[in-house]
């Protein structure tokens, strides 16, 4: 979190989940799923205090998922990414 001036607040962050697990699947009813994957989730947000009780907020988030293992022969590799932007006005009393 960074507050360059009194009415502006900025936040940055990053989350990463990465695994390279191995396991023996004994149950035939167990769902087929990835054991090796990366999941990236950086974000940024800026708040601007407009007047007493009103704050303009903008958020950005990135979602990136990538399987490191080879896909099974019955489905395609699961890989997605997306950007999400949110603009809002918050009222607090």
Number of folded domains that form the chain? 1
With cut-offs at 50, 70 and 90, classify the pLDDT of residue 18: confident
Q: Is 29 inside any structural domain?
A: no
Give the pLDDT mean for 59-85.
Answer: 81
pLDDT of residue 25: 67
Confidence (pTM): 0.69
Residue 60 maps to a domain = yes
DSSP string, 45-92: EEEEEEETTEEEEEEEEEEEEEE-SPPPTTS---EEEEEEEEEEEEE-
More confident residue, 21 or 81: 81
pLDDT recorded at residue 45? 97
Task: Say if 28 falls within a structural domain.
Answer: no
Q: How confident is the model at residue 31 (pLDDT cuts 50, 70, 90)?
A: low
> Is-contact 58 87, C-beta < 8 A?
yes
Q: What is the pLDDT of residue 2?
A: 94
């Amino acid at each position: 979190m960074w507050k360059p001036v009194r009415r502006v607040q900025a936040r940055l962050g990053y989350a990463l989940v990465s695994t390279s697990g191995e396991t023996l699947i004994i149950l035939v009813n167990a769902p087929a799923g990835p054991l090796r994957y990366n999941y990236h989730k950086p974000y940024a947000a800026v708040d601007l205090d407009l007047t007493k009780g009103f704050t303009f907020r903008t958020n950005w988030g990135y979602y990136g998922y990538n399987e490191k293992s080879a896909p099974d022969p019955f489905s395609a590799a699961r890989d997605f990414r997306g950007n999400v932007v949110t603009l809002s006005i918050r009222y607090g009393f």
